[in-house]
Each structure stands twice: as C-alpha cells, then as structure tokens.
Amino acid sequence: MNTRPLGRLWPVSALTLGGGGIGQVWGETSRAEAVATARAAVDGGITLLDLAPSYGDGEAERVIGEAFGGRLPSGVRVTTKHGLGAPPGGEVYERLRTSLEGSLARMRLERVDLFFLHNTLVPDPRPGRGLPPRATPRSLFVEAVRPAFERLVAEGTIGAWGLTGIGVPSALIEAIGETPPPAAMQCIANLLDSPGGLARFDEPARPRAIIAAARARGVGVMGIRAVQAGALTDALDRPLPDDHPEMVDFHRAAPFRAVAAALGMSAAHLAHRYALSMAGVDTVVLGVKNRAELRDCLAAEAAGPLDAEIVSRIDRAVSRGG
C-alpha cells in the first residue's frame, strides 16, 4: 500500500482502519469478524488504527486489544479520542487522562500515537447564550484543553494530539493557525463536501478550506466520511427517515451512483478513490465492519488516484462545479 507523510509526524498508509465499523456503529458485525477484519487490514498494509471509546461503548478498542494482544505489529500506530464537552477548566486534564487510561486498558497498550478531541470546537458563546451539546468553547480549548494535551505528550502517554474537524469551521481554522497547532486533523473528505449528521453549526461546512489550512501549517490530514456514513454507497445498510441528513445526501448522490455504474464500479469503491485523490488528504479513514467491505477499499486504493476527467465528471454530477 502507498504511504504518505502525516503532516510532520511519520509516514502512514493511504488507508486507515477506523473504529466505527468494527465497533458496530455502522451496522452489525460479530466480535470474531471485527477481530479478523482488524488483522486483515494490517496484513493488507494498513499502518494506522483510528479508535475512540464511543465506537460501540469501547467495543472497537476491545477488538484491537483482542486482535493484537497488546503488541501492535511493527510499524502499526493507533489513535484514540475523548468527547470532552465543556467541563470546568480545572477538570480538563483529569478527564482526558481518565478517558485515555480506559482506552489503553481496553486496547492493552501503554500509550497511543495520537489523542484527538472528539467533539465540536465552537467560538465562545455570546453573553446569555448557551453552548450546543457536546461542544468545547475556544477559550476553554486555549486555556485548558491544549495545555492538557501538551502535558500528556510530555508524560509520554500520547505521542501527539489532534482535533476532529467537525466543529465550527472558523473556530477550527483559527485553532490550526495558533501555536502550538494540532499535529493532525480529522477532516470531512467526500465528494459532496458533506458532514451529514455531524453538522451541528450554522456556518457553511467548508471542509476543503479546513484541509487547506491544515496543509499550510504542516498539520496531518486524516480524511473521514469518505462514503458519508453510507450515503455514497449503492444502498444504505440501515433504515433512516427521509429527512435524515444521510438520507438527504443519499438521494442527492443518485447521479454519482449512475457515474459509478457506468464506470463498472461500486459507489463505495469510487467514493473511496475520490477521497484518496483529494488534495491535502494524507490518509482516508475507513468505516468498514467486515472483511468483504475491507477488500473493496483495499482494491480502491490499489487502483490508484482518479484522473482529472473522472473527478470533474463526478463533481458535475453532484453539482459541485468543475
């Protein structure tokens, strides 16, 4: 598998195994199949495993603990996350530390390579207005969260820290521009430029602007939502109401599926190749839950980037311009 530098960190495989699928966020699978999928991903050349306690209430992390018995194969790195919200500043370090210790116990490891803030980063609210659910205000991030991450780096329990790019775009871009910047960002990277149900803010999403800002600062970019939670596949694998953001995107993507069919590819295969072809994306995080889905993604990476004509054809099909 191709490798690319993850910002200023280290080389990483073009694909990352995400924990959502093996943690049963994206449909049912068995523990045995999830363990087999994790091992097959590493055998297929994947060198980064992206996890979080919220992926199946710790299930994804337990899968990795069982799959590798606390001894990751040489060259394989791991991330985890914590959805902090907005606690008092004096509680931030202990909450991060406690969450990290739980993750390490489930994975049977002593440290992680990357630790992400796993919730929405937002501007400070105006007087008299509250915060959105699961949001961290900018002032708390600057005064307590960033210093806590730096402390964990100094202690050696994490190698670096990052942000999940699902917050308010202006707040994320501001954080990228500050010192120290995050070592990595998880950014929406799909052909619709859609965060789907992760859009918990009023600003336009602007994922490509976030990617460009990260790239300019040497911040590694992990592309997430390549198939937009199933909206960019041939069929959704779970029932959703018609007004659900993922169902809205599924209908919007009908012309894209026609392009994929005309090219003789599954929609998921083509969507992953599109994400892998996006400028500034170092690695694309997979949400696969079994070995069959993994094989399709490995084949998409092996097929190489899309040529400019096909990218333009897809962009026109979904009215993205180009």
Any idea what the CATH number is for the domain that residue 300 is in? 3.20.20.100
Tell me, yes or no, whether 118 lies in a domain: yes
Closest to 78 measured CA to CA, from 115, 37, 23, 40? 115
Range of the domain at 62: 3-231+282-304
- pLDDT per position in the chain (322 positions), as tens? 999 999 999 999 999 999 999 998 877 899 999 999 999 999 999 999 999 999 999 999 999 999 999 999 999 999 999 999 999 999 999 999 999 999 999 999 999 999 999 999 999 988 877 788 889 999 999 999 999 999 999 999 999 999 998 889 999 999 999 999 999 999 999 999 999 988 878 889 999 999 999 999 999 999 999 999 999 999 987 889 999 999 999 999 999 999 999 999 999 999 999 999 999 999 999 999 999 999 999 999 999 999 999 999 999 999 975 4
Q: Is residue 132 part of a domain?
A: yes
How far CA 172 is from CA of 123, 126, 165, 229, 238, in Å, comes to: 9, 18, 7, 22, 31
Q: How many domains does the structure of the chain reveal?
A: 1
Q: Are strands 120-122 and 158-164 parallel, antiparallel or unpaired?
A: unpaired
Please check whether residue 287 lies inside any domain of the structure: yes
The answer to the question of residue 270 being in a domain is no
Rounding to the nearest 10 degrees, give the CA dihedral for residues 286, 287, 293, 298. Answer: 0
Beta strands 158-164 and 135-137, pairing class: unpaired
Residues forming beta bridges with residue 72, ordered by sequence position: none
Kindly state whether residue 316 falls inside one of the protein's structural domains: no
- The burial class, CB within 10 Å (0-12 / 13-18 / 19+), for 322 is exposed
Contact (Cβ atoms closer than 8 angstroms) between residue 275 and residue 190: yes
- What lies within 8 Å, CB to CB, of 228 at 6+ separation is 190, 192, 194, 196, 246, 249, 253, 271
In a domain, 245, yes or no: no
Residue 243 domain flag: no
Q: What is the DSSP letter of 82?
A: E
Domain-located, residue 186: yes
